[in-house]
């Protein structure tokens, strides 16, 4: 009998197969664990994480979608995620030993018209595969289809140790789609993670009070108002005040809502709720009030609306370059009637509809150039000539609201410089827009007055209880500043500074 044992050989083969099967199963488990470590649920390689802008690295990365990360390693990895660069470097610390971490450099870019995020990254020098991965990581928190021309962003690159200095790869990107959010995409190994940081805003009412020095605009800005608030103020006063008559020493007082960050910086402003202007004649005082039917407006203390049928001046920041009446025409060189008022303003300045109505025509009209005519209530018509162009959606037959932008100052047709030629025709007869006794707007009914009176008194108390926008304490020093509850800002901004 030979020394060959079939049963012994079969046993050896069985033990070998069990060994390799166990080894393969162990490798599969390890690889699976690593994939789960870096992948978020439902979308491999993507982790969307909304966190407060001031969160620490421990707080922020602990919110990463997918497998939780140990806080001790995070605290050592990055002390703070207050900046996009800190987010990028924190990701490096999580997956790379300190001696092997790449140096990060940044590039600031602005999205141009017609560009996509892919083309922006490609033009900056990012690899196409890395760019696609970064865009895929961003998609759960921001659709790249919403990217608009003019968006500023920072693109981060890195040169890993051992790479040639001329070589680099995409490390991440960061941008602010609105004033309240910062989006950051950071490399984590060969994958990318996206994070969204939202500001926590504090809402409060503030007061601006002062006297006109050089101009109402500059004086209000010096006392703490913003551009947007001054524009609101001009719109409220525009029905009753001829801004050409404002003199140094005229007083103004207003209260408005604003939202600020934890550093006390204004992020955006809300609505004016109270206005007082003391110029020529009797002081003007208006209160913001929402009527029972939902209409929001400004009313005098007696319940008469500040709003009138037509605005006196349909363009802000303009000067009258030619008045209504007979004049010597600069082009035709003859004396002839000038049936409107010319407002000189820079080319492109927005022109507003003086009142609500229906557009009768919006096209080229001979020497008037680009021309708009609007039919209003009570037999009034207004006309706007020499426009550079029409605002989107303004066409014959369409409706416009009072204050809506209908076009832009230009110099089309017969003109010598950029200006708006503005006409008002009550019942087809041209009248001087600056001398019209315009019909008043709404007057509150006896049934609405009690509710309005309560709101008026509340706003007067509020006026004396809030801090001034320039930091001065409230007039009523015993009253606490009126603060609204802090809140997390919504995803879409509703206003700007």
Domain of residue 112, CATH code: 3.10.450.350
**Rg value, the chain, Cα:** 33
Q: Is residue 293 part of a domain?
A: yes
Last residue of one domain, picked from the residues 198, 232, 247: 198
- Give the residue from 303, 318, 308, 280 showing the smallest Cα distance to 377: 308
Choice between 256 and 67, residue whose per-residue pLDDT is larger: 256
Q: Tokens standing for 402?
A: 């009072």
Q: Is residue 463 part of a domain?
A: yes
| pLDDT of 493 higher than 50 | no
pLDDT at 358: 95
Q: Is residue 22 part of a domain?
A: no
258-299 pLDDT per residue, tens = 887 776 677 778 899 999 999 877 889 999 999 888 888 899
Least confident of 12-16, 94-98, 232-236, 308-312: 94-98
Average pLDDT over residues 233-247: 81
The crossing angle, in degrees rounded to 10, of helices 128-138 and 117-124 is 140
Q: What is the mean pLDDT of the chain?
A: 76
Both 169 and 185 in one domain: the answer is: yes
| pLDDT of 362 higher than 80 | yes
pLDDT at 317: 65
Least confident of 42-46, 84-88, 237-241, 427-431: 42-46
Last residue of one domain, picked from the residues 177, 198, 219: 198
Q: Tokens standing for 156?
A: 């981060």
| pLDDT of 9 higher than 90 | no
| pLDDT of 22 higher than 70 | no
Both 341 and 467 in one domain: the answer is: no
Choice between 93 and 156, residue whose per-residue pLDDT is larger: 156
Least confident of 24-28, 289-293, 347-351, 356-360: 24-28
pLDDT at 126: 92
pLDDT at 61: 33
Q: Is residue 74 part of a domain?
A: yes
CATH of the domain at 325: 2.70.70.10
| pLDDT of 167 higher than 70 | yes
pLDDT at 80: 38
Q: Is residue 314 part of a domain?
A: no
Both 276 and 336 in one domain: the answer is: no
Cα–Cα distance for residue pair 156/170, rounded to 1 Å: 6
Domain residue limits at 68: 48-198
Cα–Cα distance for residue pair 273/32, rounded to 1 Å: 60
pLDDT at 20: 66
Least confident of 74-83, 212-221, 392-401, 455-464: 74-83
Least confident of 34-43, 68-77, 313-322, 456-465: 68-77
Q: Calculate the alpha carbon distances from 77 to 49, 52, 197 in Å.
A: 18, 19, 19
- Give the residue from 490, 63, 23, 462 showing the smallest Cα distance to 256: 462
Q: Is residue 494 part of a domain?
A: no
Choice between 469 and 335, residue whose per-residue pLDDT is larger: 469
Q: Is-contact 81 60, C-beta < 8 A?
A: yes
418 three-class SS: coil
98-117 pLDDT per residue, tens = 444 567 788 899 999 989 99
Choice between 132 and 163, residue whose per-residue pLDDT is larger: 132
Q: How confident is the model at residue 329 (pLDDT cuts 50, 70, 90)?
A: low
Both 60 and 159 in one domain: the answer is: yes
185-221 pLDDT per residue, tens = 988 888 898 888 877 777 889 999 999 987 888 899 9
Q: How confident is the model at residue 68 (pLDDT cuts 50, 70, 90)?
A: very low
Both 180 and 78 in one domain: the answer is: yes
Choice between 134 and 84, residue whose per-residue pLDDT is larger: 134
364-398 pLDDT per residue, tens = 998 899 999 999 988 899 999 999 999 999 999 99
Both 193 and 211 in one domain: the answer is: no
Both 63 and 179 in one domain: the answer is: yes
pLDDT at 78: 35
Q: Is-contact 390 370, C-beta < 8 A?
A: yes
pLDDT at 76: 34
pLDDT at 395: 93
DSSP secondary structure of 296-311: EEEE-TTSBBS-BSS-
Cα–Cα distance for residue pair 99/105, rounded to 1 Å: 17
Q: Is residue 495 part of a domain?
A: no
pLDDT at 436: 75
Both 226 and 209 in one domain: the answer is: yes
pLDDT at 43: 37
Cα–Cα distance for residue pair 421/238, rounded to 1 Å: 18
Q: How confident is the model at residue 456 (pLDDT cuts 50, 70, 90)?
A: very high
Both 272 and 360 in one domain: the answer is: no
Q: How confident is the model at residue 85 (pLDDT cuts 50, 70, 90)?
A: low
Q: Is residue 442 part of a domain?
A: no
pLDDT at 46: 34
Both 63 and 184 in one domain: the answer is: yes
Both 338 and 396 in one domain: the answer is: yes
The model's pTM is 0.55
Specify the number of domains making up the chain: 3
339 Ramachandran zone, left/alpha/beta (phi>0; psi -120 to 50)? alpha
Average pLDDT over residues 32-39: 51
Q: How confident is the model at residue 477 (pLDDT cuts 50, 70, 90)?
A: low
Cα–Cα distance for residue pair 476/482, rounded to 1 Å: 12
């Amino acid at each position: 009998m030979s020394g060959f044992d079939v049963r012994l050989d079969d046993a050896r083969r069985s033990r070998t197969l069990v060994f390799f099967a166990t080894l393969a199963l162990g490798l599969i488990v390890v690889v699976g664990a690593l994939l789960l470590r870096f992948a978020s649920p439902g979308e491999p390689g993507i982790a969307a994480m909304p966190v407060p802008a001031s969160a620490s690295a421990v707080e922020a990365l602990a919110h990463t979608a997918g497998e939780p990360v140990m806080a001790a390693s995070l605290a050592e990895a990055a002390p703070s995620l207050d900046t996009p660069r800190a987010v990028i470097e924190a990701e490096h610390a999580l997956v790379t030993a300190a001696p092997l971490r790449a140096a990060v450099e940044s590039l600031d870019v602005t999205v141009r018209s017609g560009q996509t995020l892919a083309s922006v990254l490609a033009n900056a020098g990012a690899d196409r595969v890395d760019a696609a991965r970064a865009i895929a990581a961003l998609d759960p928190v921001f659709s790249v289809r919403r990217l608009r021309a003019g968006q500023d962003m920072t693109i981060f690159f890195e040169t890993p140790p051992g790479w040639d200095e001329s070589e680099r790869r995409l490390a991440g990107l960061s941008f602010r789609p609105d004033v309240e959010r910062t989006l950051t995409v950071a490399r984590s190994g060969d994958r990318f993670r996206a994070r969204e940081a939202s500001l926590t805003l504090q809402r409060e009412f503030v007061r601006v009070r002062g006297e006109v020095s050089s101009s109402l605009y500059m004086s209000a800005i010096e006392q703490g108002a913003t551009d947007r608030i001054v524009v609101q103020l001009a719109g409220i006063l525009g029905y009753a005040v001829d801004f050409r008559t404002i003199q140094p020493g005229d007083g103004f007082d207003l209260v408005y809502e604003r939202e600020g960050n934890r550093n006390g910086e204004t992020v955006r402003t809300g609505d004016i709720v109270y206005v007082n202007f003391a110029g020529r004649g009797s002081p003007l005082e208006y209160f913001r009030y929402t009527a029972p039917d939902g209409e929001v407006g400004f009313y005098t203390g007696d319940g008469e609306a500040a709003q009138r049928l037509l605005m006196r001046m349909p363009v802000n920041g303009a000067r009258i370059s030619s008045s209504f009446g007979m004049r010597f025409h600069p082009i035709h060189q003859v004396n002839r009637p000038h049936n409107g008022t010319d407002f000189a303003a820079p080319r492109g300045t927005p022109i507003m509809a003086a009142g609500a109505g229906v557009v009768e025509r919006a096209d080229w009209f001979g020497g008037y150039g680009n021309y708009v005519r609007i039919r209003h209530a009570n037999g009034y018509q207004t006309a706007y000539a020499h426009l550079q162009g029409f605002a989107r959606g303004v066409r014959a037959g369409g409706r416009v609201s009072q204050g809506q932008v209908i076009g832009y100052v230009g110099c089309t047709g017969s003109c010598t410089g950029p200006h708006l030629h503005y006409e008002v025709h009550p019942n087809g007869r041209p009248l001087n827009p600056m001398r019209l006794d315009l019909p008043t707007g709404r007057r509150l009914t006896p049934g609405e007055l009690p509710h309005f009176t309560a709101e008026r008194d509340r706003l007067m108390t509020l006026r004396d209880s809030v801090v001034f926008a320039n930091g001065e304490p409230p007039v009523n020093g015993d009253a606490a500043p009126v603060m609204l509850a802090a809140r997390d800002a919504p995803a879409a901004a509703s206003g700007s500074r």
